[in-house]
Structure 1
Amino acid sequence: MKRWLLGTLGLFLVFSCRTLPPPPPVRTLEEVTLKEIQNLISSEEPTKALQWIVGLRSSSTPVKIPPEELGRLEKEAKEKLIEKFYQAVEASDFSYALSLYTSFRTLYGSEGFKEYSVDRLKFLMAEGERLKGNAVLALAHFRGMTDWSSLSSEELFTYANLALALKNLPVCRAVLKELELRNVSIPKDLKERASQTIPLADYLGGTVTIWVNRGIRMDRGIGVPDRVIGSGFYIDPRGYLLTNYHVIQSEVDPEYEGYSRLFIRPSGRIDERIPAKVIGYDRIFDIALLKTEVSPPFLFGISDVQELKVGSRIYALGSPGGLENTITSGIVSAVGRRFFQLGDAMQMDVPVNPGSSGGPLIDEEGRLIGIVFAGIEQFQGVNFAIPAYWIQKILPDLYKPGEVVHSWMGVSVQEVREGLEVLYVAPGSPAYEVGIQRGDRILQIGDDVVRKVRDAQSILLSQRSGTLIRVGLKRNDEPKSYVLALQKRPYSPLEKLVDFERVENLFPPLFGFTARSLSSGLFAEDFIVEKVYQGSVADETGLSENDPFTLRNWIVDKKKRLVLMQISIKQRKAGFLEGGVQMGALLEQNNFL
């Protein structure tokens, strides 16, 4: 019996081996790459395919593909891009058409699409929204044009009246000025309405109190009402209004498991609570767009004021402590505070209290210049607002349901004398794929020279994911140029990276210094500081070049959103006496592009 079993098993193995399929042929790296590019073209991703093709033409790539084969693939990808552009125009998807147009211009300049331009596509976007009744979005796209000279006087009058209806007097006046330059006669009534001064008290009609009922919470065994109170303001005659994301966070946060109901209380109607719903929100800029079934008595026009002078008089409207119809005043204390992961914030001394968050901030001309979002309790007169410049950048995306997702290159940078020095390149990001390296100095994005992080972030905010952009940089004083397809930006780029990236690679984006590993042990690792960036956490802690240190502890606290680094160091500035130092940094850094 035993022999029979062994014999049967032997026959089974023999015939099993005979029936096994032959192993697949081993494909070369070139064959795999060609197949991947072909798949990208077939799967309707011509911009990503073109990124690969441009990269393969670089002399530094280890993959060598015959020029005629690359030429054939480029022709296919280019034709696919053109085909998709006209399909997008036909479908009135002008946002996607603009992305494809920008990608084409990045590679081929003014060749092709001669009947279109960036301004033409933006105007088509504006007209599409206007005809659908989306007046706010129509005006946002119209305002995004750089030149109105191609528009007829009739078209300009249409948008002057639209701006007036939305209480956006600055845009209305700018359009009328364009008409005056053409020597076009402007109706007296339109001129008077555009030049009117609206009393400050009238603005209160456009404000609301945001009320989020989160049920009952237990405090030392006693149930107490859990409420969140904030402010908001109308921007759309159909009942759309803006507030802070943190005010309505429980409505959309997937990690929140409790009860949550959102209401608004209109100005002057203290006994009413009207249901509202969240349309879109942006966690990075702390903004949310809500919708209510209310006809607003007053609207706030979104301006594109980039920067107010320090010392300018400003007014905050809202419901501090739930006290509606409150106006407080102050001045702009500072601008350009790097408070968010993207963009910047305005510092002011206008009083801010719980309940003020989400309220509008206006200047003496009545222009909306920002949204109140935070104050520092320990310090009087140190409060912050989100500038209107960034609000108008993301406004069209807020009208889309869900969370706003931005585009990125995938690099952390530091402002230096010449451009933006790359501190870190995220694995799998567009910058990583095309070969951008740490130490490169980014000088140009698209047609724009960049010297500030905010300027580079502003450029990327204007482009949707998948768009091809050209990045000009210097590597060891040698000029280089890369073409990359933007990808969707993760909310917190470092949150996942800290789980698998080597700690020394994270020193630059988190703490602002580079170090070289000397030795590693079971419980500690030795390093020597190579470079410290001015103004960084490491610089303020006193680290300097050639300081040797031992990493004792590396703590990532995702709940508190921070990273702690505990080291033993012999600082040159302290006479190389050994001491212990702890440095901390937030997971949400503001230096990523």
Structure 2
Amino acid sequence: MNKLLGLGALLLFALFATSCKTFSGTPQIKPDYTDEQIRLSEAANIRRMIPNSPVKALWLSHLMLQKSEQDEVVDSALTALFTDCSSEVKTLMEKAVSDEQWYEAEKLCKTLMCVCGTEAVAPEVQASIQAGLSEKTVAGIETAESAETEPLHKTSDFIKGTVTIWVDKGVTVQNRIGYSEVALGSGFFIDATGSIITNYHVIQSEVDPKYEGYSRLYIKLAGKSDDRIPAKVIGWDASCDLALIKADVKPGFVFELGSASDLEVGDRIIAVGAPVGLEHTVTSGIISAVERDVGMPGKVIQIDAAVNSGNSGGPIVDENGKVQGVVFAGLLQYQGLNFVIPVELLKAELTALYCGGEVLHPWIGMTGRTKKVYPSDEEGVGVEVLYVLPAGIADYADINPGDVICSFDGVPVKNMDDLHNAMIPAGTDRIVEIEIIPGGETPADADGAPNRKIVKIYLEKRPEYPGYTIYQNELLYKAFYPIVGMELVPVSSASVGKYAVKSVIKGSVADESGFADGDPVEIISAEPAPDKSYLYVEVYAKKRRKGYLDVTLGFAVPLDSTSFF
């Protein structure tokens, strides 16, 4: 594998020099729709948005119309705006159906039904879209049936169903000597038409617009290692490190996808792949853990089976012969610490991967954590909103810190994993419903109560580094809460850059650094890394837990984590 993951969020505790900065961006303010002039201006902006962003325009016009109805100031212009937006989205849906762009058609169909009601899309159109999606993706989802063979559980069959991924990157010249550059990985067949699952990082040079070199994708079949067969990338997801490629071959074996319900810690598994180019290597081991957090959307599986560079993209197979995951990373300096993308995540992505192109993840401008009635509870009762980005999607929808999300797009949400698993297949540029319980209550308290509300929300494309978006659009001391994990309040208006810690998020960088409520803190500097992946912070503090000993700390905080959504 050519991807090395670190498990810790905190990278360093050391002094460093950087320019002084006690503010980041200027907070945006959502428009006040009760003001007539602002309402007219926003309506004009939304109308200009229709040609390029019709779904977002539909959502904003819905919010304006809803707010106006509450304030009893509805006028015909707002109603006409909403009608025009919905008509444009419907036209796009009909075109997607005509062009057999089923994934796009489904998103637009669900958007219309969410905002305008189920009657907005004719039943026969809904049926046509579902039939088109099933025809396009059934091979990948029901692999055992599509192969029309009885499942075989011999190791030799698994080898036949696994391929070596070969990415030719041309020749690199060093000291006047040319060296062939090749990226190696593994993959496995999931349907009888030659569709193959692998890792995104294996085929990244094929689709990454930042890559400017030569790149050609091939596969090698079991028993035919001298033959390189051209392949093409169908769909990919950089965040989840998954890709679907296709070659014009008849698979020797088609894998069946398993289920999380079949998997327990201690179960035996085998890994098939091409470590360091040694094709068709089989290693065995056990499931070491099933809920490891390594910064990807959702949890991953830890295994102790030996895997190395070249195993990336290969299958992890259980004793029943079903794929339980995709190898994607390991800690090279340690033995037996390797990680696998769970099959449930793969299944959630299949439809989007089959439909082609880049799979985008949604973003609604919040951070949160699992809400529990008691800290000792194993089960959560929802996701508590900790922070809302000013003038972000959630802010427009009147979602506030302290609110509890208990369902997303019809899927019950009890914890952060549930929320991520529901958001991944939802896609972007569509409107969904989420169920909210106002802050201060739990789902059990508010069950059946009138304050439980449904909120319609637009799904934007997730930024590469959400924390950097917050850094750009928030006052620095307020950005410390979602990014560093400590809520700061100014000591006084005269003391610029000096604050007191109001609260600390458990498990955050601030918590692990020993900060506590009431600690005096002075922000010396905070600068993002050149690639915007980390925020380098220097603070002066008097920690209560250390007897108010003066200390200057420098640390790096990741600007992406599973707490951002």
Structure 1 length normalisation: TM-score?
A: 0.76
Residue matched to 2:41: 32
Residue matched to 1:511: 484
Alignment of 1:147-546 (within 5 A): 163-166=144-147, 194=150, 196-217=151-172, 224-305=179-260, 308-417=263-372, 418-426=381-389, 429-477=392-440, 479-499=452-472, 501-518=474-491, 525-546=497-518
What is the CA distance between 1:565 and its match in structure 2? 1.8
CA contact (8 A) 1:306 1:387 kept: no
What is the CA distance between 1:425 and its match in structure 2? 3.1
**Is 1:48 the equivalent of 2:57?**
yes
What is the CA distance between 1:114 and its match in structure 2? 7.0
Q: How many residues align?
A: 512
- The separation in 2 between residues aligned to 1:84 and 1:246, in whole angstroms, is 33
C-alpha spacing 1:222/1:500, structure 2 compared with 1 (3 Å): farther
Residue matched to 1:185: none
What is the CA distance between 1:316 and its match in structure 2? 0.5
Letter in 2 for 1:494: G
CA contact (8 A) 1:166 1:235 kept: no
Which SS does the other structure have where 1:208 is aligned? strand
Post-superposition Cα deviations, 1:549-569, rounded to whole Å, max 9, x if no partner, equal 112232322448322222221
Which SS does the other structure have where 1:271 is aligned? strand
What is the CA distance between 1:283 and its match in structure 2? 0.8
CA contact (8 A) 1:494 1:587 kept: yes
CA contact (8 A) 1:53 1:70 kept: no
C-alpha spacing 1:120/1:337, structure 2 compared with 1 (3 Å): farther
Post-superposition Cα deviations, 1:87-130, rounded to whole Å, max 9, x if no partner, equal 65555444344334433443465556573697884344214x3x
- The separation in 2 between residues aligned to 1:281 and 1:43, in whole angstroms, is 24
What is the CA distance between 1:57 and its match in structure 2? 2.8
- Indicate the structure (1 or 2) with the bigger Cα radius of gyration: 1
What is the CA distance between 1:533 and its match in structure 2? 1.4
What is the CA distance between 1:429 and its match in structure 2? 3.8
C-alpha spacing 1:78/1:103, structure 2 compared with 1 (3 Å): same
Letter in 2 for 1:466: D
C-alpha spacing 1:438/1:258, structure 2 compared with 1 (3 Å): same
Which SS does the other structure have where 1:346 is aligned? strand
Residue matched to 1:102: 110
What is the CA distance between 1:363 and its match in structure 2? 0.7
Post-superposition Cα deviations, 1:459-511, rounded to whole Å, max 9, x if no partner, equal 22232333222223244436554222222223332345445543223323322
CA contact (8 A) 2:236 2:353 kept: yes
C-alpha spacing 1:123/1:502, structure 2 compared with 1 (3 Å): same
CA contact (8 A) 2:232 2:246 kept: yes
Structure 2 length normalisation: TM-score?
A: 0.80
- The separation in 1 between residues aligned to 2:408 and 2:92, in whole angstroms, is 25
- The separation in 1 between residues aligned to 2:226 and 2:101, in whole angstroms, is 44
Which SS does the other structure have where 2:491 is aligned? strand
* Structure 2: segments with no counterpart, 5+ residues: 1-35, 373-380, 441-450
C-alpha spacing 1:442/1:119, structure 2 compared with 1 (3 Å): farther
Structure 1 window deviating more from structure 2 (328-337 vs 235-244): it is 235-244
- The separation in 2 between residues aligned to 1:255 and 1:83, in whole angstroms, is 34
- The separation in 2 between residues aligned to 1:521 and 1:257, in whole angstroms, is 52
What is the CA distance between 1:440 and its match in structure 2? 3.1
Post-superposition Cα deviations, 1:527-552, rounded to whole Å, max 9, x if no partner, equal 21111111222212211111111122
RMSD: 3.4
Post-superposition Cα deviations, 1:53-99, rounded to whole Å, max 9, x if no partner, equal 335433899x9743565455555555665666566555544434433
Letter in 2 for 1:285: C
C-alpha spacing 1:401/1:94, structure 2 compared with 1 (3 Å): closer
Structure 1 window deviating more from structure 2 (508-517 vs 567-576): it is 508-517
- The separation in 2 between residues aligned to 1:48 and 1:220, in whole angstroms, is 56
What is the CA distance between 1:323 and its match in structure 2? 0.9
- The separation in 2 between residues aligned to 1:341 and 1:65, in whole angstroms, is 45
Which SS does the other structure have where 1:355 is aligned? coil
CA contact (8 A) 1:466 1:485 kept: yes
Residue of structure 2 aligned with 1:125, choices 130, 133, 139:
133
What percent identity do the matched residue pairs reach? 33
Higher-RCO chain (CA-CA 8 Å, sequence separation at least 6)? 2
- The separation in 1 between residues aligned to 2:359 and 2:217, in whole angstroms, is 20
What is the CA distance between 1:287 and its match in structure 2? 1.5
Post-superposition Cα deviations, 1:15-70, rounded to whole Å, max 9, x if no partner, equal xxxxxxxxxxxx92232233345555677826632543335433899x97435654
Residue matched to 1:587: 559
Structure with more helix by fraction: 1
- The separation in 2 between residues aligned to 1:405 and 1:213, in whole angstroms, is 27
What is the CA distance between 1:521 and its match in structure 2? 9.6
CA contact (8 A) 1:466 1:487 kept: yes
Which SS does the other structure have where 1:273 is aligned? strand
Structure 1 window deviating more from structure 2 (557-566 vs 79-88): it is 79-88
Post-superposition Cα deviations, 1:157-195, rounded to whole Å, max 9, x if no partner, equal xx8xx742337xxxxxxxxxxxxxxxxxxxxxxxxx54x
Structure 1 window deviating more from structure 2 (278-287 vs 104-113): it is 104-113
CA contact (8 A) 1:424 1:506 kept: no
CA contact (8 A) 1:304 1:392 kept: no
Letter in 2 for 1:403: E
**Is 1:572 the equivalent of 2:544?**
yes
C-alpha spacing 1:79/1:449, structure 2 compared with 1 (3 Å): same
CA contact (8 A) 2:65 2:82 kept: no
CA contact (8 A) 1:51 1:484 kept: no
C-alpha spacing 1:34/1:226, structure 2 compared with 1 (3 Å): closer
- The separation in 2 between residues aligned to 1:359 and 1:52, in whole angstroms, is 47
Post-superposition Cα deviations, 1:309-336, rounded to whole Å, max 9, x if no partner, equal 1111111000112111111111111112
CA contact (8 A) 2:146 2:191 kept: no
